[in-house]
């Protein structure tokens, strides 16, 4: 699109400059203002449309493609809205179903720009809150829960994804341990899709990532988290970032420990009439412990990680039930 590199238009015709000092994320460049609702740049916009048209010629043949209007944008909402409408119209003409979103740059996912995704279901089908993965520990979890609560109170229904989990011992955005903890907090909070970011800012599909993915599959098969809800309120004597709970209450409870620790799980009042089993999933080795029958007092069950390394999941399940898949 640089006028110096093509014969379609000049700097004067396009309104572009030879150089921009700031990163494109600063949104200084007229490239991101060409749409009618902004600067209506009729010189450049047709070429942008042709580029998108060519992409869609390829992607419309595949039903598994998700469409994100921007990458970590600080841009005007009108820019993303234009291209979301453009792609949706093209898809309708081609008889193709598409799923669209926008990815905002703000690390605080409860800022107003993030609202512009879920507040516009006519444009966007799901949310991406990957930038929350710059946060760690309790703040990382609390942000997700608040985001879910806000969307729910607005009576919106949409999947919420995080396709970039940052954190690597070779990167700038936390350690490999941070990446693993972010991954599991995402799952326990109810994130629909989550992925480790590429090296150097993430652990990609490294052996460490594969081990966590394998353990996640084992846990999902055992518990069916779709039937569960975040339930940290059931954890007593819990310290900040010590443990996280998701539960299909009365049936199965999962408690994730990022490191070694101990908490008390509050079971329902009728739990004393039931038999319960406990087993542990060691995340690093992807191995289940043998299930054992557990006893509790006053519907309170003490859970202490079985090894000093931590990074494990306790699954407490009422005996004789079948998961609701």
Computed over its alpha carbons, how large is the radius of gyration of the chain? Answer: 24
CA 81 to CA 116: how far, in whole Å?
10
User: Which residue has 């191995």 as its token pair?
Assistant: 287
Query: What's the CATH code of the domain at 12?
Result: 3.20.20
Query: What's the CATH code of the domain at 274?
Result: 2.60.40.1180
Could you tell me the pTM of the whole model? 0.93
User: Quick one: average pLDDT of 192-208?
Assistant: 97
Tens-place pLDDT, residues 27-43: 889 999 999 999 999 99
Instruction: Identify the residue with better confidence: 319 or 38.
Output: 38
State the greatest distance between any 2 C-alpha atoms of the chain, in Å, as a whole number.
80
* Token pair recorded at residue 40: 């209506």
169 and 245, same domain (yes or no): no
User: Quick one: average pLDDT of 280-305?
Assistant: 91
Per-residue pLDDT at 27: 86
Per-residue pLDDT at 204: 97
* Token pair recorded at residue 86: 């453009």
Q: Is residue 139 part of a domain?
A: yes
Of 30-44, 51-65, 243-257, 270-284, the one with minimum mean pLDDT is 270-284
137 and 267, same domain (yes or no): no
With a cut of 90, say whether residue 271 has pLDDT above it.
no
236 and 260, same domain (yes or no): yes
CA 67 to CA 250: how far, in whole Å?
39
Q: Is residue 128 part of a domain?
A: yes
b/e burial code for range 167-198 (CB count within 10 A of at least 16 → b): bbeebebbebebbbbbbbbbbbbbbeebbbbe
- Which residues span the domain enclosing 103? 3-225
110 and 237, same domain (yes or no): no
266 and 289, same domain (yes or no): yes
Q: Is residue 325 part of a domain?
A: no
233 and 217, same domain (yes or no): no
CA 46 to CA 218: how far, in whole Å?
49
**Parallel, antiparallel, or unpaired for β 244-248 and 252-257?**
antiparallel
Give the end of a domain, one of 225, 252, 267: 225
With a cut of 60, say whether residue 281 has pLDDT above it.
yes
């Amino acid at each position: 699109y640089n006028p110096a590199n093509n014969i379609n238009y000049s700097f004067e015709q396009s309104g572009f400059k030879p150089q921009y000092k700031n990163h494109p994320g600063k949104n200084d460049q007229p490239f991101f203002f060409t749409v009618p609702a902004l600067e209506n740049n009729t010189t450049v916009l047709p070429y942008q449309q042709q580029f998108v048209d060519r992409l869609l010629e390829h992607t419309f043949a595949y039903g598994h493609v998700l469409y994100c209007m921007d990458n970590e944008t600080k841009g005007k909402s009108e820019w993303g809205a234009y291209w979301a409408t453009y792609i949706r119209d093209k898809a309708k003409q081609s008889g193709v179903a598409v799923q669209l979103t926008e990815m905002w740059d703000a690390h605080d996912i409860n800022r107003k720009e993030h609202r512009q995704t879920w507040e516009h279901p006519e444009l966007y089908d799901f949310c991406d809150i990957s930038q929350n993965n710059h946060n760690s520990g309790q703040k990382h979890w609390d942000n997700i829960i608040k985001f879910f609560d806000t969307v729910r109170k607005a009576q919106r229904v949409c999947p919420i994804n995080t396709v970039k989990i940052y954190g690597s011992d070779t990167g700038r955005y936390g350690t490999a341990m941070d990446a693993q903890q972010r991954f599991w907090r995402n799952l326990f909070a109810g994130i629909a899709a989550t992925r480790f970011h590429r090296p150097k800012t993430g652990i990609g599909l490294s052996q460490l990532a594969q081990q966590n993915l394998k353990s996640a599959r084992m846990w999902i098969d055992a518990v069916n988290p779709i039937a569960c809800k975040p339930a940290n309120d059931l954890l007593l004597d819990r310290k900040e970032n010590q443990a996280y709970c998701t539960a299909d209450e009365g049936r199965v409870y999962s408690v994730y420990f990022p490191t070694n620790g101990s908490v008390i799980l509050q079971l329902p009042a009728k739990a004393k009439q039931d038999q319960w089993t406990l087993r542990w999933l060691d995340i690093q080795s992807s191995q289940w412990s043998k299930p054992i029958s557990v006893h509790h007092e006053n519907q309170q069950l003490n859970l202490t990680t079985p090894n000093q390394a931590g990074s494990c999941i306790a699954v407490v399940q009422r005996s004789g039930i079948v998961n609701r898949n």
